[in-house]
């Protein structure tokens, strides 16, 4: 007998986690980027690798693109390529953090010409969205200052609002802007969008089609991320997740690697707040696989999210609410922890097989020979990595 109810299995079957195209390229630290045989050389090969994750897990039906890293001559052709492999093109991510012009800011820059360049880049991204059928434009800004007195903090917020307002005005009726935040790096004294409150303040001023993106690695140590998830869902402004894991800073590791209990707590609040399988809340990975193979790294990540979602679905809501109302602290905690400690892996394996999927997607992919195949086929050319 399954430990899951029919309703819980239906919710698990609907779960969808978007993959980032850049996770399939070479990555590393600021000291070294490591090459891997078979690394994609263009967006078409990135999508082919992403399609393998969907094939073995049925959890990853869409692929996010990064512009200009994923620019192509024909987005219609790229879209047809993706659909032919069983996936769709998803979120379009902008890039205003690599050009020399953006050394002191992009959408917040003192120079109107630099701001114009950054705004026009985002308008180009919206054109890409029209061509790919993408709904969301995700904006992360590597903007801030390193020293007290270096920048006009209020002036930068004003300029950011003006820039975002022009971008927002170009969105189609069904399109959205999601604004990511990060409390430091590469700026160290102040960051222009350092926390959920600043992102919320900016998007709330834009309108209903502007939302907050929460990256699980973009918080100071000890931050109660599930509280932020709760609050943004309560306010109707949680537009998307970027799932990864961190030990020290924005490590971009496999989600759940550092603190699986945190992932469980986050997903409980997602379920509690009506965010699971809610079309207005997009789930995505944002990871850089430095030393592990890319495709199995993404498979492991989506399975980790699925497993913790399954555990969170097992929380006895009625018993928990009763304990909370009566002030029974230890009983409430017991109900919560019982769900977390439940080993859902055998039940999930059995359920996958009932759907025609491999019980162990990691093992099935390893035995497929795909990594050896692409290592042999993808010889020559320039491997994708940071900036490509």
pLDDT in tens, 97-128: 999 999 999 999 999 999 999 999 999 999 99
Q: Which CATH number is 243's domain given?
A: 3.20.20.150
CA distances from 113 to 24, 96, 110, 285 (A): 34, 14, 9, 34
Q: Is residue 331 part of a domain?
A: no
Is 70 exceeded by the pLDDT of residue 192? Answer: yes
pLDDT of residue 172: 97
Q: Is residue 349 part of a domain?
A: no
Residue 388's pLDDT band, with cuts at 50, 70 and 90, is: low
Q: Residue 165: CB partners within 8 Å, gap ≥ 6?
A: 205, 206
- The total of structural domains in the chain comes to 1
Q: Is 252 left (phi over 0), alpha (psi -120 to 50) or beta?
A: left
Residue 33's pLDDT band, with cuts at 50, 70 and 90, is: confident
Residue 31's pLDDT band, with cuts at 50, 70 and 90, is: confident
Is 70 exceeded by the pLDDT of residue 207? Answer: yes
Q: What is the pTM of this model?
A: 0.96
Q: Residue 369: CB partners within 8 Å, gap ≥ 6?
A: none
Residue 366 lies in domain: 15-306+358-374
Distance separating alpha carbons of residues 13 and 4, to the nearest angstrom: 12
Q: Is residue 346 part of a domain?
A: no
pLDDT of residue 386: 66
Asked if residue 26 lies in contact with residue 33, where contact means CB atoms within 8 angstroms, the answer is yes
Is 60 exceeded by the pLDDT of residue 387? Answer: no
Q: Is residue 7 part of a domain?
A: no
Q: Is residue 77 part of a domain?
A: yes
Asked if residue 64 lies in contact with residue 90, where contact means CB atoms within 8 angstroms, the answer is yes
Q: Is residue 136 part of a domain?
A: yes
Q: Is residue 379 part of a domain?
A: no
Q: Is residue 33 part of a domain?
A: yes
Distance separating alpha carbons of residues 245 and 65, to the nearest angstrom: 21
Angle between helices 112-132 and 75-84 (to 10 degrees): 40
Residue 342's pLDDT band, with cuts at 50, 70 and 90, is: very high
Burial of 90 per CB tally in 10 Å (0-12, 13-18, 19+): buried
């Amino acid at each position: 007998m399954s430990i899951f109810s029919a309703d819980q299995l239906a919710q698990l079957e609907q779960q969808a986690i978007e993959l980032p195209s850049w996770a399939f390229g070479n990555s590393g630290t600021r000291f070294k980027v490591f090459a891997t045989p078979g690394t994609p050389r263009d967006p078409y090969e990135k999508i082919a690798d992403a399609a393998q994750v969907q094939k073995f897990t049925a959890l990853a039906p869409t692929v996010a693109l990064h512009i200009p890293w994923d620019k192509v001559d024909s987005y219609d052709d790229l879209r047809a390529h993706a659909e032919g492999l069983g996936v769709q093109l998803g979120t379009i991510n902008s890039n205003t953090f690599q050009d020399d012009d953006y050394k002191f800011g992009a959408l917040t820059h003192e120079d109107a010409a630099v701001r114009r360049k950054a705004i026009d880049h985002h308008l180009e991204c919206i054109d890409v969205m029209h061509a790919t059928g993408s709904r969301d434009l995700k904006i992360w800004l590597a903007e801030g200052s390193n020293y007290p007195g270096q920048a006009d903090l209020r002036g930068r917020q004003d300029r950011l609002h003006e820039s975002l307002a022009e971008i927002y005005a170009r969105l189609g009726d069904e399109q959205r802007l999601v604004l990511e935040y990060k409390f430091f790096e590469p700026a160290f004294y102040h960051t222009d969008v350092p926390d959920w409150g600043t992102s919320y303040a900016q998007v709330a001023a834009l309108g209903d089609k502007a939302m907050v993106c929460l990256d699980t690695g973009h918080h100071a140590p000890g931050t109660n991320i599930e509280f932020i998830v709760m609050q943004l869902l309560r306010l109707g402004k949680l537009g998307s997740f970027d799932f990864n894991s961190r030990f020290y800073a924005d490590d971009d590791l496999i989600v759940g690697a550092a603190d699986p209990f945190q992932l469980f707590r986050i997903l409980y609040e997602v379920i509690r707040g009506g965010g699971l399988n809610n079309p207005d809340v997009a789930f995505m990975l944002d990871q850089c696989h430095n030393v592990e193979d890319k495709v199995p790294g993404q498979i492991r990540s989506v399975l980790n999210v699925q497993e913790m979602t399954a555990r969170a679905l097992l929380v006895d809501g009625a018993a928990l609410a009763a304990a909370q109302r009566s002030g029974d602290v230890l009983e409430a905690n017991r109900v919560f922890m019982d769900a977390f400690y439940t080993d859902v892996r055998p039940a999930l394996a059995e359920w996958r097989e009932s759907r025609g999927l491999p019980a162990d997607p990691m093992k099935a992919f390893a035995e497929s020979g795909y990594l050896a195949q692409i290592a042999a086929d993808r010889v020559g050319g320039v491997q994708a990595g940071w900036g490509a």
